[in-house]
Amino acid sequence: MANSVLEAIKEGIWDFEPEETKEEQYSSTPAMPGSSSKLEVLAERLAQGLPLWHPEDRQTYNDADLD
């Protein structure tokens, strides 16, 4: 069985739904949206079959509590 959407696509599984992952099971990132650092985090999450977005990810330049 596929562990990520990428694996599912490679296997021809088009209706893949990943298992629900609680936000405590993976880390948020302070990386700026659109930065290469943020893209690296998203790519790693995708490869691991994790949700792309964490509720505590930095969303704007002015996210003061993450600076």
Picking from 40, 43, 32, 59, the residue whose alpha carbon sits closest to that of residue 4 is 43
pTM over 0.75: no
State the greatest distance between any 2 C-alpha atoms of the chain, in Å, as a whole number.
43
Report how far residue 67's alpha carbon sits from residue 8's, in angstroms, rounded to the nearest whole number: 36
Cβ(29)–Cβ(58) below 8 Å: yes
Phi, psi of 14 (to 5 degrees): -95, -10
**pLDDT value of position 1:** 72
What is the CB-side half-sphere exposure of residue 62 using CA atoms within 13 A? Answer: 0
**pLDDT value of position 7:** 86
Query: Model confidence over 10-52: pLDDT tens digits?
Result: 999 998 877 888 999 999 999 999 999 999 999 999 888 888 8
Per the document, the length of the chain is 67
